[in-house]
Amino acid sequence: MALVLYHKNHPDEQYQYVHVRLNEVYSFIEYRLQDPHHTHMNFIARDVKTGLEKTFFAELCMCNDVDDGNSGYVTTACEIVDGNSSGGLRIKGVFPDGKFLPDYYDGENCYACAERIKHPPGAGYRAGHDVLGYGVGEEESLVE
Ligand SMILES: [Zn+2]
C-alpha cells in the first residue's frame, strides 16, 4: 500500500512490491504527534520497466479506524533509499556535534530505528526525530 503514495508522487515510475523482511520493521510511539503510532520499514520492490530491484523506505501511521481494511494504517512517506542513506540512530545514541539539539528534535535523523533501517532525508518523513529516543523493547516482538 505504501507504493500507492510513491506512484502518486512519481507518476512516471512503476514499481511492484517484492518483499519485506520482518527485522526491517520498527513500530514506535511518536508522542509529539496527534496520532502517535508509527511504523518505519524497508521493503523491496521491482521496477516494472527495467526489472531492477530497489529498497524503499515507508512510514505508516495508524491514524484511521482499525476496521478500514488497512488495519487503520495510512502511508505518510514512501521513498527509494540505498546503502548510502542514513540509518536509524537508535542504538548509536549519538547526536550531531555530541550535544542535544534545541527542543531535543533532530529533523534530519530517526532515533526510533536501528541503523539497518535506511531513511530518506529527514524532511521526507515525520516521526522518529525525537533525540531522547523511544520506548525500548516494544519492537522486539516484530524481530523474528
Ligand atoms: Zn525510523
Query: Rounded to the nearest whole angstrom, what is the distance from the C-alpha of residue 41 to the centroid of ligand 1?
Result: 7
Q: What's the pLDDT score for residue 44?
A: 96
Q: What's the pLDDT score for residue 94?
A: 55
Q: Which residue has the cell 530497489?
A: 54
> Domain residues of the chain, as ranges?
2-134
- 37-47 and 53-62: which strand pairing? antiparallel
Contacts of 67 (CB under 8 A, 6+ apart): none
- 121 versus 139: the higher-pLDDT residue is 121
Q: Which helix (H) or strand (E) holds 9?
A: helix 2-9
Query: Rounded to the nearest whole angstrom, what is the distance from the C-alpha of residue 15 to the centroid of ligand 1?
Result: 22
User: Global pTM?
Assistant: 0.83
Query: Rounded to the nearest whole angstrom, what is the distance from the C-alpha of residue 48 to the centroid of ligand 1?
Result: 27
Return the percentage of the chain with pLDDT > 90, whole number: 52
Q: What are phi and psi of 8, to 5 degrees?
A: -65, -40
pLDDT tens by residue, 82-93: 989 999 988 655
